[in-house]
């Protein structure tokens, strides 16, 4: 792709158009928009836009109308400006998504994944990504988030071990064995006589317990902070946290991203502690712990911890059980 060079003579006209577009006092959110991308266009910080619109989180939705109080950007100091359409690579920034980058460079998500050898939609801030076909061979594969650690232990060869034990055990004569059974029965009969009013056996505990789910989720959240794409003992995003929770809660290994987790679970209408709750077209997920509460990794400013399900701006897509 050839680069388009704009001379200083044309720069004034472009600056005037940009200033006219940015001076609007309201912005309608479109699909793929984030607070970060809107803040860049409005020359404002994310926190300023959140304050103007009384937002308590970074989640926004197509169709939302946001107030902005932008000032026209200053003219570019350079004599010559490289237009965005001429770029063949792009450095990923915090808050970017494949969908937003594809819209920015007028390509498809499938093209970006093919040019960068991506197997999922996960990308990491600071990495370069090819946004044109001719740049694909020159750009290293975009690093994806670390895959889920396998929790299943290697298979144990039980059959040979049992056979060895059986071969090593000495033969037992039939008569003593019968005698031992009779002695055990006599002991049991004596115990029944001595304790005729023994308490009935307790009913087994339910498979999911609220206290257990809450304790595990809050224990996992302690000491962690939110990092997009993170999946470690100290840094997680929303789906990495729920993946770690399921491994600790019931030993199940679930997919790494929200869409894979949704596909692996079963939607339920009566949520129980330990289920996962999804939001806003499955773009966010948390651990439901009962009584309208959940534990989730929300965003960098609000971190990882317990909060009400209703705290998240937007809508609930459903509850899923694993």
163 or 314: whose pLDDT is higher? Answer: 314
Percent of the chain with pLDDT over 70: 64
pLDDT of residue 36: 81
Taking the C-alpha atoms of residue 319 and residue 322, their distance in angstroms, rounded to an integer, is: 10
70-128 per-position pLDDT tens digit: 554 443 444 443 444 467 888 988 878 888 888 888 888 888 888 888 888 888 888 88
Taking the C-alpha atoms of residue 296 and residue 307, their distance in angstroms, rounded to an integer, is: 8
- Per-residue pLDDT band at 163 (split at 50, 70, 90): very low
Task: For 41-72, give one letter per residue: b (16+ CB within 10 A) or e.
Answer: bbebebeebbeeeebebbbbeeebebebebee
**Token pair 């809050």 in the structure block, residue:** 218
Instruction: Give the mean pLDDT of 222-246.
Output: 96
pLDDT of residue 40: 79
Taking the C-alpha atoms of residue 282 and residue 288, their distance in angstroms, rounded to an integer, is: 15
Q: Which residues pair with 231 in a beta bridge?
A: 236
**Quick check: 130 pLDDT over 70?**
yes
Taking the C-alpha atoms of residue 98 and residue 93, their distance in angstroms, rounded to an integer, is: 11
pLDDT of residue 242: 97
Query: Contact at 8 Å (CB) between 81 and 3?
Result: no
pLDDT of residue 52: 85
Query: Contact at 8 Å (CB) between 62 and 33?
Result: yes
Domain residue limits, the chain: 87-144, 210-321
288-305 per-position pLDDT tens digit: 999 999 999 999 999 999
pTM, two decimals, is: 0.39
- Per-residue pLDDT band at 55 (split at 50, 70, 90): confident
**Token pair 């960098």 in the structure block, residue:** 300
**Quick check: 311 pLDDT over 90?**
yes
Q: Do domains 87-144 and 210-321 have the same CATH topology?
A: no
Rounded to an integer, what is the distance from CA 261 to the centroid of its chain? 9
CATH code that applies to domain 210-321:
3.90.1720.10
Q: CA angle, corner 148, sides to 143 and 256, nearest 5?
A: 80
The matching CATH number, chosen from 3.10.580.10, 3.10.350.10, 3.30.70.20, 3.40.50.2000, for 87-144 is 3.10.350.10
**Count of positions (residues) in the chain:** 322
209-232 per-position pLDDT tens digit: 446 999 999 999 999 999 999 999
Q: Is residue 269 left, alpha or beta, with left meaning phi > 0 and alpha meaning psi from -120 to 50?
A: alpha
Taking the C-alpha atoms of residue 6 and residue 84, their distance in angstroms, rounded to an integer, is: 11
Taking the C-alpha atoms of residue 306 and residue 298, their distance in angstroms, rounded to an integer, is: 10
pLDDT of residue 138: 54
């Amino acid at each position: 792709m050839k680069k388009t060079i704009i001379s200083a003579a044309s720069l004034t006209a472009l600056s005037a158009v940009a200033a006219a577009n940015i001076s609007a006092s309201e912005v309608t959110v479109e699909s793929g928009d984030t607070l970060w991308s809107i803040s860049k266009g409005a020359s404002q910080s994310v926190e300023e836009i959140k304050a103007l619109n009384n937002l308590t989180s970074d989640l926004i939705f197509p169709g939302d109308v946001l107030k902005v109080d932008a000032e026209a950007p200053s003219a570019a100091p350079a004599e010559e400006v490289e237009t965005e359409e001429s770029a063949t690579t792009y450095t990923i920034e915090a808050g970017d998504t494949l969908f937003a980058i594809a819209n920015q460079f007028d390509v498809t998500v499938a093209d970006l994944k093919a040019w960068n050898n991506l197997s999922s939609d996960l990308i990491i801030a600071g990495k370069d990504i090819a946004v044109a076909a001719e740049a694909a061979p020159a750009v290293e594969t975009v690093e994806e988030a670390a895959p889920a650690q396998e929790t299943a232990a290697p298979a144990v060869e039980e059959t040979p071990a049992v056979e060895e034990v059986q071969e090593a055990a000495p033969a037992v004569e039939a008569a003593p064995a019968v005698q031992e059974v009779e002695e055990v029965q006599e002991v049991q009969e004596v115990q029944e006589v001595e304790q005729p009013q023994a308490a009935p056996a307790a009913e087994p505990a339910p498979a999911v317990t609220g206290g257990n789910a809450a304790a595990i989720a809050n224990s996992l959240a302690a000491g962690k902070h939110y990092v997009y794409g993170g999946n470690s003992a100290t840094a997680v995003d929303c789906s990495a946290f729920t993946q770690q929770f399921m491994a600790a809660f019931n030993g199940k290994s679930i997919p790494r991203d929200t869409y894979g987790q949704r596909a692996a679970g079963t939607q339920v209408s009566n949520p129980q502690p330990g289920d996962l709750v999804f939001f806003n077209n499955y773009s966010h997920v948390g651990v439901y712990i009962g009584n309208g509460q959940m534990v989730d990794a929300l965003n960098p400013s609000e971190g990882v911890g317990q909060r009400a399900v209703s705290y998240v701006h937007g809508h609930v897509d459903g509850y899923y059980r694993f």
